Structure 1
Amino acid sequence: MIGRLRGTLVSKQPPWLLLEVGGVGYELEAPMSTIYDLPGLGQEVVLLTHYAVKEDSAALYGFLQESERALFRNLQKVSGIGAKIALAVLSGVSTDHFARLVQAGDVVALTKIPGIGKKTAERIVVELRDRVDGLTVSLPGVSGQPAGAPLDPAGEATVALQQLGYKPAEVTRMVQKVVVEGDSAETIIRKALRAALGG
C-alpha cells in the first residue's frame, strides 16, 4: 500500500499530477482543492495517497490534507459513489463546508455537485452524518482531465469542468460568465464553480 509520497512536482494538468520520487514518476489524480495549494513545478511536495485497485485497473490519488483523504475514503463507502464522484465532491466544496451540509441535512445543496442526485444526497446525509466531525478547512475547486495539447486557461477550465460532470453547453456558459483576461485556469474554475454552486 502506498500511503505517502515525497518528491518533485514534474507536471500539473488537472486533475492529473506527475510526481518524481527517486527517479520513478508517479501519476496521481487529485482534487482541485489540492491542486490549488501545490507549489510550482520543480518544487518538492509531500502528498498523502490513496491506492485503489479494481479488477482491470489501479489508480493512485493524492491529497495535501488528511481531511481530504479521509473524506475521499468515507464518500466511497456510500452506495453509488465511486472515486470520480468523490473527487468531484472534494473539488466542489471544502471539507468543512461539506461537513456542515451533511450535518444540516441540506440535500438540495448537495445535489448541486455533479454526479449527486437526490437519492445519493439523502444516502450521504444518512451514512456520513456521524463521520464528518473533525474535518478541517480546505480550499474549494473542481476536477478536470488533461488535454493532449496545451490549452489556453479558458480551454483548460472548460475541459476540467466537463470532466467534473457538467454538460458542454453549460460549461461554455459558466466559463463565459466569469472569465477575465489574465485569469489562470484554476482561477476561472474556482469562479465558475462558486457561481454554479451559489457560493
Structure 2
Amino acid sequence: MIGRLRGILIHKAPPWLVVDVHGVGYELEAPMSTFYDLPELGREVFLFVHHAQKEDSVSLYGFLREGERRLFRDVQKVSGIGARIALAVLSGVSVEEFARLLHAGDVTALTRIPGIGKKTAERMLVELRDRAVDLAGGGPLAGAAGLPGDPLSEAIDALQALGYKPAEAERMARKAIAEGDEAAAIIRKALQSALR
C-alpha cells in the first residue's frame, strides 16, 4: 500500500497530477485544496496518499496535508458516499470549515458543496458530528458557534438545550448579542425576542 510520495511534479491538470519518483510516474487525483498549494512543475512535492484498490482498478489520491487525507477517508465512511463526493467536499471547503459546519449542524451550508443533497448532508451530520473536533485537528472550533467558553457559544449551547435547533439558536443569539454581554444576558434577550 502506498502511504506517501516524494518526487518531482511533472503534470497538473485538475483533478489529475503526476509525480515522478525515480523514473516512475504516479498518477493521482487530488482535491482543489491541494491544487491551490502545489509547487511549479519540475519542483519537488511531498504528498500524503490514499491508495484505493477495487476488483478492476487501483486509484491513488494525493493530499498536501494529513488532515485532508483523514477527512477524505472519514467522509467515505458515511453510507452512500464515495471518492467523488469526498473530493468535492475538500474542493468546496477547508477541513476546518467542514468541521465547523458539522459542529454547528449547518445542513444548508453543507448542501452548497457540489454533489451533496439534503439527505447526504443530514447523514454526514449524524455519522460525523462526533468527529468534528478530531477533524479540526483537536483545536477549538471557531466560527458559527464561537470559541468554546465564550459568551456567544455558551448562549447558543443553552438555547439548543432548551430545544432550539442549532441554526435557529445561533441566529437568535447573534441577533441578541451586544458588546460586553455575558451568556445569561444574551439568552434572556434572545428568549424575549422569540416571545414577541
TM value normalised by structure 1:
0.67
Aligned to 2:49: 49
CA RMSD of aligned residues (A): 1.1
Is the partner of 1:132 in helix, strand or coil?
helix
Question: CA-to-partner distance for each residue in 1:139-183, whole Å, 9 max, x for gaps?
Answer: xxxxxxxxxxxxxxxxxxxxxxxxxxxxxxxxxxxxxxxxxxxxx
Relative distance call for 1:44 and 1:136 in structure 2 (3 A) is farther
Aligned to 2:128: 128
Distance apart, 1:54 and its partner CA:
1.4
Q: Distance in 1 between matches of 2:108 and 2:27?
A: 35
Distance apart, 1:133 and its partner CA:
1.4
Q: How many residues align?
A: 137
- Unaligned runs of 5+ residues in structure 2 are 138-196
- Unaligned runs of 5+ residues in structure 1 are 138-199
Q: Distance in 1 between matches of 2:7 and 2:136?
A: 25
Is the partner of 2:130 in helix, strand or coil?
coil
Aligned to 2:84: 84
Correspondence 1:20 to 2:59: no
Structure with greater helix share of residues: 2
Larger Rg: 2
Matches within 5 A, 1:74-153: 74-136=74-136
Distance apart, 1:121 and its partner CA:
0.4
Distance apart, 1:131 and its partner CA:
1.6
Q: Write the letter of the residue equivalent to 1:131.
A: R
Pick 1 or 2: higher relative contact order, CA cutoff 8 A, min separation 6: 1
Identical residues among aligned pairs (%): 72
Confirm or deny: 8 A CA contact 1:30 1:63 kept in the other structure: yes
Q: Write the letter of the residue equivalent to 2:113.
A: I
Distance apart, 1:136 and its partner CA:
4.7
Q: Distance in 1 between matches of 2:76 and 2:136?
A: 19
Confirm or deny: 8 A CA contact 2:5 2:21 kept in the other structure: yes
Deviating above 6 A after TM superposition, structure 1's stretches of 4 or more consecutive aligned residues are none
Question: CA-to-partner distance for each residue in 1:76-117, whole Å, 9 max, x for gaps?
Answer: 000010000000000000110000001111111111111111
Q: Distance in 2 between matches of 1:73 and 1:132?
A: 14
Q: Distance in 1 between matches of 2:133 and 2:14?
A: 28
TM value normalised by structure 2:
0.68
